[in-house]
Structure 1
Amino acid sequence: MVSRSSTRFLNICIASFCKAKHLQRAETVIIDGVRLGVLPDVVTYNTLINAYSRFVSFDAAYSVLDRMKEASIKPDIVTYNSLIAGAMRHCLLSNCMDLFEEMLELGIKPDIWSYNTLMHCFFKLERPDDAYRVFTDIILCYLSPSQATYNTMLNGLCKCGFVENALMLFRKLKRHGFVPSLVTYNILINGLCKAWKLKTARWMLKELGASGLVPNVITYTTVMRCCFRSRRFEQGLEIFEEMIDKGYTFDGFAYCTVVGALVKTCRIEEASHYMERMVNTDIGLDMASYNTLINLYCKGGKLEMAHGVLDKMEKEGFERDEYTNTILMNGLCEEGDVEGAMEYMNVAGFNSNLVALNTMVDRWCKADQIDYAFKIFDSMDMRDSFTYSSLIHNLCKVGRFRCASKLLLSCVRSGTRILPSAKRAVFDCLRHSGHQREAKRLKSEIKLALSAVV
């Protein structure tokens, strides 16, 4: 006689194989179990459904239901919650709704996790109004919203650009007895930072500290990065020092964030100071750390030291990636060795890298070799706003305003986005050169082109 513990052991084995993504082995275990008289139960199939939805496809997960029917095993709420979550991952809203209907037909009442998943799916598809209706349905169905429910709602509002609404909801929930967790505060702080509301984010950070909760590395790093993006470097460095005092800099990510921000603003000495502090700690250097260190030396004009770091990196078993090559190539350009950078790009075999090619276009322009820059431009399979903007800016600098205006007009007609500063550069160049009529004509042609694109 097969005991109940045998099925439990079968489920443990299947869960282990599924977690390791060995689904075929999990299926083999089920077959072997049946041969030995150990029959699978609803937990067995729920585990398979979750694994297939995560690692294969929603259809593969849904097909497990047929096998459950053949084995006379009734699906439960966990079964459908796993399927709804699988449909949500692939943004299959219609399947989510169908599964809800199917649950009700089978007499399975959706629980709070069912609604949470559906709400998350609506937010993922940028349908916040529908997500809010689901939130209202939870209340109407007399279900008790969980911490995850509130966090899903606040996170969805922030990601859809409704940070103010998220804050209003947060205040309203607190007045009704909601006790926010650290995750809740991190969601709001992240949303505020992405909306460039640094002052409110810092105020929220203070409120977090006053609540008795302890900010973690995610909290501090989020605010610190926002400070750097807002060019408030001293505030960012203060937050970093506070992180160090609280012992949160256990990896190199925070250090690399600080060094990268300082390097971008040419504060090389300060960046070197923080990089030295990181190297002197027990933090092991990863790929991002090595790239940051190489970039620091390249920006400081120390290419030999950069290559020394590269050698050390490769001895540690790290292979240079596109970021490494782009940094080294840009370092050569900074030294004025544009031809050497071009040769390095060809030898490294990354002449399809957009960032690298954009760098080469810009550097050849600054080396008064615009015709050669155009050759690279014409050879590029893919271009972005920086490609066009860089070329337009440099054409204006050398007085080739007609060529710049033609390129600008072609971008507008094709619907290609370019930086506003590039547009201003063309008009300023035309006006300062005394070509007022050309500027007016270009303005009218751009207006006509924009109306045609719309």
Structure 2
Amino acid sequence: MSEKGVKMNAITHNILVKWFCKCVTYNTLINGYCKAGNMGEAFRMMDELGRKGLKMDTVTLNTILHTLCGEKKLAEAYKLLNSATRRVYIIDEVSYGTLMMGYFKDEKPDKALEVWDTMKEKGVLPSIVTYNSIIGGLCQSGKTDQAIDKLNELLGSGFVPYETSYNTIIHGYCQEGDVEKAFQFHNKMVENSFKPDVFTCNILLRGLCREGMLEKALKLFNTWISKGKTIDTVTYNTLISSLCKEGRFEDAFDLLEEMEEKKLCPDQYTYNAILSALTDAGRIKEAEEFMSKMVEMGKLSDQSSQLGKGQDDGTHDNPEGSDSSSIAYSEQIKELCSQGKYKEAMCIYEELTQKGVSINKSTVFSLMDGLIKRRKSTSKAARL
């Protein structure tokens, strides 16, 4: 109007204000329905918004896309994005990035790449956040080589990658079991000013240990320390766990002692790794002694019942590999423990051990936990 020389009066201003208020009201309501998980009402409001000639803003569009992707309604999210394009809504890199990540989480990386290509075709420029999202998604999908292509594209666009971008790719190669490529990429990036941090070290250590290259992992660890680099509890836990799996308990205990000297407090995972390995090796007496010692030193609490459960080493009880008598005895021991009859449970356990009957790991830990609780209550009574 101004360009045509037409002056705006009070009526014109009021019309614009009223239109804007209506848009804001609808967008606010749609946002609210999305956050409440009421997508049916959100879509109803969106249709009403369109019928009245009002426009949905980008934030609201992205909220709906995010909600749909979170509910794994990717077909609806894709349809909405296409219809938004036809309705000339403003779509940004967040809109496309949200749908891309939805496809990655649903293990459909090819669909995610299609959305990426569409975004580029539409002239929507990805931000560094969008680049990091697709790099992370590709690495998690086992397509780390393609993630490298996106990293090169990122560099070509004049962006400076985050340190996490490099770590994500290193982790991707390690997850694929290609530790050699992980180190090649690491070394190349170091030449280009990448400064590895403790996360980088831990990723590489875990990758080496997972592939059975424990000696190389220890060498990397010692090199890292000699250079005065930062290490943390995860660093030690990774090595302690691997040493225990190989039966190198003395070396594991040495690292545990070194860890404590450096004021890096061992956590539940540290003790879990040692206890699980001792139990798997059939060294139950040593596991009991270690656990009791840790309790006396105040290193473990009554939460010790969680030890041996859900450890990230892939070891779990295997009912299929046990005979029916073993399972029955295990259940009997657990039942006695739940009733506080630890002495009877221990008698059954010792009898089974002498007969060579195997008892699953969770039962052993239930028994250990019960004995420790009994010892703590006895000590408390003696003090009274």
- TM class by shorter chain equals 0.5 to 0.7
Give the number of aligned pairs. Answer: 315
> Once superposed, what is the RMSD of the aligned Cα atoms?
4.4
The one of 158, 166, 176 equivalent to 1:142 is 158
Distance across 2 between alignment mates of 1:8 and 1:331: 69
Residue 235 in structure 1 maps to residue 251 in structure 2: yes
Aligned pairs for 1:279-428 (under 5 A) are 279-280=295-296, 281=298, 283-285=301-303, 288-289=306-307, 308-311=336-339, 334=353, 336=355
Aligned to 1:248: 265
How far off its partner does 1:39 sit? 7.7
Question: In the alignment, which residue of structure 2 is the partner of 1:323?
Answer: none
CA contact (8 A) 2:94 2:130 kept: no
Structure 1 CA distance for aligned equivalents of residues 331 and 88 of structure 2: 70
Distance 1:100 1:261, change over 3 A: same
Give the alignment partner of residue 219 of structure 1, picking from 224, 235, 242: 235
Note the C-alpha offset of 1:230: 2.4
TM-score when scaled to structure 2? Answer: 0.65
| Partner of residue 281 from structure 2, selected from 254, 261, 265 | 265
Partner of 1:380: none
Corresponding position of 2:126: 110
CA shift, 1:11, in A, is 8.8
8 A Cα contact 1:10 1:30, kept in partner:
no
Q: 2:186 aligns with which of 170, 185, 198?
A: 170
Judge conservation of contact 1:126–1:160 (CA < 8 Å) in 2.
yes
CA distance in 2, matches of 1:312, 1:40: 63
| 3-state SS of paired residue (1:103) | helix
Residue 37 of structure 2 is aligned with which of 23, 38, 56?
Answer: 23
TM-score, normalization by structure 1: 0.56
How much does 1:150 deviate?
A: 0.7
Relative to structure 1, is the Cα distance of residues 253 and 7 closer, same or farther in structure 2, using a 3 angstrom cutoff? farther
Equivalent in the alignment of 1:386: none
Q: Distance in 2 between matches of 1:284 and 1:32?
A: 53
Aligned to 2:160, the other structure's residue is in SS state coil
Contact 1:224 1:239 in 2 (8 A): yes
Change in 2 beyond 3 A, CA 1:185/1:8 = farther
Q: What secondary structure is seen at the aligned counterpart in 2 of 1:143?
A: coil
The one-letter amino acid of 1:23's match is G
Identity value in percent: 22
Contact 1:42 1:75 in 2 (8 A): yes
Q: Quick one: structure 1 residues 8 and 283, their matched pair in 2 at CA, closer, same or farther if it must change by over 3 Å?
A: farther
> How far apart are 1:103 and its partner, in Å?
0.7
Deviation, structure 1 residue 262: 1.4
Structure 2 unmatched runs, 5+ = 1-17, 311-316, 318-325, 342-347, 361-384
Letter in 1 for 2:63: T
Aligned to 1:349: none
| Relative contact order higher in (CA < 8 Å, ≥ 6 apart) | 2
TM superposition shift of 1:113? 3.8
Rounded Cα–Cα distance in structure 2 between residues aligned with 1:47 and 1:222: 39
Q: Give distance in 1, aligned partners of 2:330 and 2:115.
A: 61
Equivalent position SS for 2:307: helix
Is 1:122–1:130's contact at 8 Å kept on the other side of the alignment? yes
Q: Please say if residues 7 and 41 of structure 1, whose CA atoms lie closer than 8 Å, have aligned partners that are also in contact.
A: no
Distance in 1 between the 2:292 and 2:27 partners?
A: 54
Which residue type is aligned with residue 78 of structure 2? Answer: Y
C-alpha offsets along residues 320-348 of structure 1, whole Å, 9 cap, x if unaligned? Answer: xxxxxxxxx9988645497x99xxx9xxx
Match of residue 68 from structure 2: 52
Is contact 2:104-2:141 (8 Å) kept? no
Cα distance in 1 for partners of 2:55, 2:292 equals: 61
Q: Partner letter of residue 292 of structure 2? A: E
Residues 1:166 and 1:5: Cα distance change in structure 2 (over 3 Å): same
Task: Label 1:308 to 1:81 Cα distance change in 2 as closer, same or farther (>3 A).
Answer: same
| CA positional deviation for 1:270 | 2.6
Q: Where do 5+ consecutive residues of structure 1 fail to align?
A: 314-328, 346-454
The answer as to whether partners of 1:303 and 1:331 remain within 8 angstroms in 2 is no
Q: Match for residue 449 of structure 1?
A: none
Cα 1:64–1:184 change in 2 (3 A) is: farther
* Preserved contact between residue 119 and residue 125 of structure 2 (Cα < 8 Å): yes
